[in-house]
């Protein structure tokens, strides 16, 4: 079973935003939003959909509106910065 089989219908721009914010590491972002680095990695890779609260926390870290960080792309075709 490949990772693609678990792709969620929500894409995100977290990877790009991290690098635009001083090459912020996943661990730094995780610390700021109160999650583990593994969870940030899973969100970034499109393997896990965060709660609305966590999504807003992430957007707030980057100072962007929610829809600039997460985008609905339809069932089973999620793309992230890392997979584009």
Partner 1 sequence: MSFREKSAWITVISVFGCFGAYFGAIALGYINGRGADSLRLLTICAVALVLVQGALHLVAVRTSGSADRAHRDEREEKIIARSHTVGFYTLMVLVLLLGVPGHLGHSTPAMLNFVLLDVVLATLVVALTQIVLFRRGG
Q: Is 45 in the site for partner 1 (CB under 8 A)?
A: yes
Q: In this complex, which beta carbon is closest to partner 1, that of residue 20 or of residue 36?
A: 36
On whether the CB atoms of residues 81 and 12 are closer than 8 A, the answer is: yes
Q: Is 27 in the site for partner 1 (CB under 8 A)?
A: yes
Q: Is 24 in the site for partner 1 (CB under 8 A)?
A: no
Q: In this complex, which beta carbon is closest to partner 1, that of residue 48 or of residue 64?
A: 48
Rounded to whole angstroms, the Cα distance separating 24 from 9 reads 25
Q: Where are the alpha helices (DSSP H) in the chain?
A: 14-20, 26-33, 37-44, 52-62, 66-69
Binder among 11, 13, 26, 50 for partner 1 (CB under 8 A): 50
């Amino acid at each position: 079973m490949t990772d693609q089989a678990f792709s969620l219908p929500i894409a995100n721009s977290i990877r790009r935003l991290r690098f635009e914010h001083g090459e912020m590491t996943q661990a730094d972002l995780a610390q700021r939003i109160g999650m583990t680095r593994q969870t940030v990695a899973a969100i970034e890779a499109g393997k896990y959909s965060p709660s609305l609260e966590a999504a807003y926390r992430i957007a707030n870290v980057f100072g962007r509106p929610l829809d600039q960080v997460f985008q609905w792309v339809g069932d089973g075709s999620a793309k992230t910065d890392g997979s584009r």
